[in-house]
Amino acid sequence: MATVVCFVCGNSTSELNVSPLFSRSQRTHHNAPFFPFLEYHDPAPGASPMQDDWSVDACFVCKSILAQQWESFERGRMPIGKRLYWLKRPSGCEIRQPVSQIELEEILNEHSRDNCDDYATDEEDGKSPIPKPQEQHDEPPQIFCYSCAKSDKDHPSMCPVHCQPSYEQLRTGVPYYPTVLDKEPSKGAKVICNSITFLCISCLPKFTPEWHPVQKDFLQQDPTKSVLPRIPLPEVVLCYICGGDVSTKYNVGLVRTSGATGGVTAALTSRKPILGSTPLTFGFTYLCTKCLSAPPFNDKV
């Protein structure tokens, strides 16, 4: 029996366990999942390139993980162009982002042209007139530097910084600054969900940047890289315990597993994770509001 290399993760598997993944919607199955990012990812070493019908060979695990994320995005009515997927890639196989937003838009425009009429009509709901919100004449709130209390009016160069490793930090390809929280916040400064705040450009060098292990691995593989790639992670993930949808924006629902209390760690490691949820090896995971309200998470997250 022949073996096939998965386009996504590079693992070899029996041809009986291989299924196609499509990068474009199919005329005969326009409700089936499709993943545009496949068109700007190189195949894993040993894998066959994309076929003429815009399909690649994928193992059962990769297809299941991506299908779950697709369903989550569909339930949340997330636009195709804004979806970011979590997927496993073999070591040394670079994840190439679109050259520009224009490139991604061209791919999506081709989807619309290739789709059947009824699906194309749906894709055009994004072009339909959207009522514009009433103009706000109130001045925007001021942003204060966490360290020196200067506002963005006094010091226009204000930088958002991540104080903890997270999906949002990985997605944007930036470091995090764990020592920021060792200092008491200045007057007017805010920390969103104990993880995101602002520093002026003068205070930023006072704090040491750290990298998530995923980013460290990338830097070790190619130390000549001066810019980290954006990691294709979703904006909505599955709860580690129940599989419910959890938004990763501002790290709401974030539960740290590195340095966590024994009760939190034991409660997570004793459970079988939901397929597609954030693995504990990341040093953190995400729980929905319902699971966070149960012991021991309601005591200390």
pLDDT at 118: 36
pLDDT single digits (tens) 79-103: 777 677 777 777 656 554 443 444 4
Does 247 lie in the same domain as 202?
no
Which string of DSSP letters, residue by residue, matches 175-244? -B-GGGGGSPPPTT---BTTTEEEEETTTGGGS--B--HHHHHHHHH-TT--SPPPP---SEEE-TTT--
pLDDT confidence tier of residue 56, bands split at 50, 70 and 90 = very high
Does 248 lie in the same domain as 186?
no
- Proportion of the chain above pLDDT 70, given as a percent: 72
pLDDT single digits (tens) 170-189: 777 778 999 998 989 999 89
Q: Is the pLDDT of residue 62 over 80?
A: yes
pLDDT confidence tier of residue 3, bands split at 50, 70 and 90 = confident
pLDDT confidence tier of residue 262, bands split at 50, 70 and 90 = low
In terms of pTM, does the model score above 0.85?
Answer: no
Query: HEC states along 88-146?
Result: CCCCCCCCCCCCCHHHHHHHHHHHHHHCCHHHHHHHHCCCCCCCCCCCCCCCCCCCECC
Does 155 lie in the same domain as 218?
yes
- Proportion of the chain above pLDDT 90, given as a percent: 11
Domain boundary among 222, 245, 267: 222
Does 192 lie in the same domain as 151?
yes
- Examine residue 48 and state whether it is found in any structural domain, yes or no: yes
Q: Is the pLDDT of residue 109 over 60?
A: no
Between helix 117-124 and helix 101-114 the angle, nearest 10°, is 140
Domain boundary among 222, 255, 290: 222
- Looking at per-residue pLDDT, the higher value among 204 and 252 belongs to 204
- Examine residue 210 and state whether it is found in any structural domain, yes or no: yes
Q: Is the pLDDT of residue 286 over 50?
A: yes
* Count of the separate structural domains present in the chain: 3
Residue 247: strand pairing partners: 236
Over residues 4-27, the mean pLDDT reads 86
Domain boundary among 82, 97, 121: 82
Task: Provide the domain limits for residue 185.
Answer: 142-222
Does 217 lie in the same domain as 238?
no
- Looking at per-residue pLDDT, the higher value among 90 and 247 belongs to 247
pLDDT confidence tier of residue 164, bands split at 50, 70 and 90 = confident
pLDDT at 283: 80
Instruction: Find the length of the chain.
Output: 301
- Examine residue 248 and state whether it is found in any structural domain, yes or no: yes
